[in-house]
A and B are shown apart, each in its own frame.
Chain A
Amino acid sequence: MSELNKAMIEQYRNSFLSEVEANVEEGEWVKMCMQCGVCSGSCPLGKHWAHPPQEIFMMIRAGKREEVLTSDSMWMCTSCYNCIVRCPRQLPITHIMHGLATYAKKLGLTPKNQPTAKFAEIFWNNMMKKGRVNELKLGLSLYFKDGFGPGIKEALRNKDLGMKMMKAKRMAAGEFFGGHGVKDVSGLQKMIKKAQELEDARMKKFDEPEASQDG
């Protein structure tokens, strides 16, 4: 178990809801859910969610920490924003789902080989190198995300597509060797590092026992 996960369990022993409110993006909204179920009927990949958003909110309140954070469900969110425009209580559901996914990943609780979690990581790393996305490299690392063997198979399956994209000048081979990027890469990286530090510091604050807490 990751150290951070241990620390958080210790800290929020009996209130997963407070943990979510403190550490998850827009988590303070969870208590506003009135369990109407509109969001759950809105997810395009609904049948693939073991626990649709409404249920996730209920489980958070019921303290089902492990079940929520190790779930595959929030990784099914396509960011379609159907839920947000329909929720009668205006919960920022999309962001809470993203926030739960991010938090679970931080704690090392994401299911193994979750493809969207992997893709998100590949995407972010690809972008952070130069400040812009290099689509060719992004595509290649995607094929190989499950390892070399399946990667080759996947790449071959998409070979025809790749050729067509090249022909239409929508995939430049030159990108692989250089390609797009920002000029001030070092400034950008310093900036993100700082932002990350500031955010981690926010979470650490909750690590320290607060005077107001009982015991």
Chain B
Amino acid sequence: MAKREYSYYPGCSSQKGASSSNLMKSVDTMCEELDIQLNEIPDWNCCSASIGYASGSELPRLTLSARNIALSEEHNKNQEIVATCAACWLATKEAAERLKEDESMFAEANQALAEAGLKLQNTTPIKHMAEVIVEDIGIDSIKEGVKKPLEGIKIAGYVGCQTNRPFGIAGESFENPMYLDNLIEAVGADAIPTYEKKVQCCGGALAFSEPEKSQEMIKGIIEAAYDNEADMIATPCPLCQANVEIYQDQINEKYNTKFNIPVVYYSQLIAVAYGRSASDAALDGQLIAAKQLEDVAKK
């Protein structure tokens, strides 16, 4: 495989010591295996996700993302931007599109950027890592590199909302995307293509501000995984991962359930299937241990 290079936007939640640092670590490992070089955007800033809107209105918000794109265009010339966080990807791509459609907004964003000595060209494509896997590399090629198939592990592919909407992966349906199931099959595990909660929202940022309302939805996501006899849930989204994994105790307390299902990243599946260690796959970053993956990694 020829080496691929991208300009990398890790996002706040994927920094060292942050809530999704296990995503960052497993993505690094996955990229080593797939011969992908990620060049971090120097001095990137937070995009304000899908929650900053109420305090930072339209132009300030767009300008935040514009700064990242401008930095990338200056320092990582001619490289497509890749994000691993759905919200980062969405915010950045949305900003790029809005500023393409609206010339006066584009001019004003550049006026603001000038205060930080930057200039936006806005010609850079903005991709999600899932697009790199599915479109640039291809699931068939992923399958070829598998050394330790994840045999006998049944995995509910939870795509969530923002990896899937409004942009999603080209050619996939918004209501019933298949790429995650295909990827799960490619690494030798058993997918559940009819997992009915695969694109159900978990509450997103409202898991913090409206915990009861969100946990009711999270409960449904987990329940359906159990009903489908899944051993674990896999997702591409750091907020999905956190929301579905970390509140299981609180949900058990409230609803008298006995949830204890691991929630892992697609990148961790690939890392383990490619023969890497549990620590390279960041399995030590799980709150609910993914024992079956640890066992494969030990083999």
**A interface residues with partner B (beta carbon < 8 Å):** 25, 44-45, 48, 76, 78-82, 84-86, 94, 98-99, 101-102, 105-106, 115-121, 123-125, 127-128, 131-133, 135, 142, 157, 160-161, 164-165, 168-172, 174-175, 179-180, 182-184, 187-188, 190-196, 198-199
Contacts and interface: CB of A to CB of B under 8 A. Distances in A.
A116 B287 contact: no
B55 A191 contact: no
A23 to B, nearest CB: 10
16 contacts: A25-B57, A79-B50, A85-B165, A98-B53, A98-B54, A102-B54, A116-B51, A120-B53, A124-B54, A169-B21, A172-B16, A174-B17, A184-B43, A188-B45, A188-B116, A194-B115
Contact of B51 (A119, A175, A193): A119
Contacts of B174: 85-86
List the 6 closest pairs (A to B, CB-CB), nearest first: A172-B17, A124-B55, A187-B116, A120-B54, A81-B165, A79-B50
B161 A198 contact: no
Given A44-B201, A142-B208, A198-B59, A116 B115 contact: no
Contacts of B287: 164-165, 168
A117 to B, nearest CB: 6
Nearest to B18: A135
A183 B44 CA distance: 9
Contacts of A106: 57
B210 interface: yes
B60 A79 contact: no
Nearest to A166: B17
Contacts of B147: none
Given A79-B205, A115-B210, A196 B59 contact: yes
Given A94-B166, A175-B17, A187-B116, 10 more contacts: A78-B203, A78-B204, A79-B51, A79-B204, A119-B209, A121-B54, A127-B12, A133-B13, A165-B287, A170-B22
Contacts of B15: 132, 180
Contacts of A180: 12, 15, 18
Nearest to B217: A44
Contacts of A191: 63, 67, 112-113, 115-116, 118
Contact of A80 (B16, B44, B49, B204): B204
B171 interface: no
A86 B199 CA distance: 14
A81 B91 CA distance: 13
A119 B205 contact: yes
Contacts of B43: 182-184
Contacts of B285: 168-170
B124 interface: no
Contact of B54 (A116, A179, A199): A116
A135 B13 contact: yes
Given A44-B203, A188-B45, A199-B58, A161 B52 contact: no
B286 interface: yes
B162 interface: yes
Contacts of B117: 187
A81 B249 contact: no
A78 B206 contact: yes
B112 A170 contact: no
B56 interface: yes
A187 to B, nearest CB: 3
Contacts of A190: 115-116
Given A127-B46, A182-B45, A187 B115 contact: yes
B69 interface: no
B14 to A, nearest CB: 11
Given A25-B57, A124-B48, A168 B22 contact: yes
Given A44-B203, A102-B54, A171 B59 contact: no
Interface in B59-96: 59-60, 62-64, 67
Contacts of A118: 209
